[in-house]
């Protein structure tokens, strides 16, 4: 990437952290794992990976990251959430476990495990005009869907049946699928562009 960009982080308490760090590093980013509030203070944007959203919620509170993350998101920090990360960014979640909280920021309603169990995982090609050609190879693993969007949310991708699986609102980006395991870096590039725009 041109010029020196500020460091970015990957929420590293749970989920496919290494895969996101690898993609970001391959794009020239100074990418770091974030497990503590002081590490969050050092980054200009963060990726919230796929994993288990209820566990991420519990660990974020245990490690004192929840409130600092909420404050940074509310203040406009760029964030990219994949799968469980999408759930964590949603203002509201359906089918969450008892007591589950989100970080919020994205004006969406998400549904957990919308396609069933791990054995119901699937892959497909998605045409996303904002990313150009070729189509995005999307890997869905116990994926959520977005069931409602607010007026400020841009829908980037839908499945053929109409389910919303990628959204953007300002500097917040979220996908129900996993580009990081499909050798697809255009969403990470888009996230880094949001970071660069605020640098």
Using CA atoms of 182, 93, 108, 115 in order, give the dihedral in degrees to the nearest 10: 40
Given the residues 19, 20, 83, 168, select the one marked as catalytic: 83
48 touches 84 (CB < 8 A): yes
Given the residues 19, 20, 178, 188, select the one marked as catalytic: 178
Given the residues 20, 180, 184, 194, select the one marked as catalytic: 180
Cα-Cα end-to-end distance for the chain? 14
20 classed as catalytic: no
Interacting residues of 132 by C-beta distance below 8 A, sequence separation 6+: 186
180 classed as catalytic: yes
| Integer Cα distance of 190 and 139 in angstroms | 19
| Look-up of token digits 């794992």 | 33
Which sequence positions are flagged as catalytic? 83, 178, 180
């Amino acid at each position: 990437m041109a010029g020196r960009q500020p460091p970015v982080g990957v929420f590293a308490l749970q989920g496919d952290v290494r895969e996101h760090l690898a993609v970001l590093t391959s794009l020239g980013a100074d990418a770091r794992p974030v497990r503590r509030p002081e590490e969050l203070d050092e980054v200009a944007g963060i990726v919230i990976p796929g994993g288990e959203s209820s566990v991420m919620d519990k660990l974020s509170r245990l490690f004192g990251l929840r409130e600092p993350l909420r404050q940074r998101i509310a203040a406009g920090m760029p964030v990219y959430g994949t799968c469980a990360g999408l759930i964590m960014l949603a203002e509201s979640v359906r089918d969450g476990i008892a007591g589950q909280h989100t970080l919020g920021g994205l004006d969406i309603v998400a549904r957990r495990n919308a396609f069933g169990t791990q054995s119901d995982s699937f892959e497909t090609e998605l045409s996303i005009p904002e990313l150009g050609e070729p189509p995005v190879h999307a890997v869905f693993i116990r994926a959520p869907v977005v069931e409602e969007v607010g007026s400020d949310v841009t829908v980037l991708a839908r499945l053929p049946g109409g389910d919303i699986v990628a959204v953007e609102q300002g500097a917040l980006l979220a996908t129900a699928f996993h580009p990081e395991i499909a050798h697809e870096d255009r969403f990470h590039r888009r996230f880094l562009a949001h970071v660069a725009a605020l640098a």
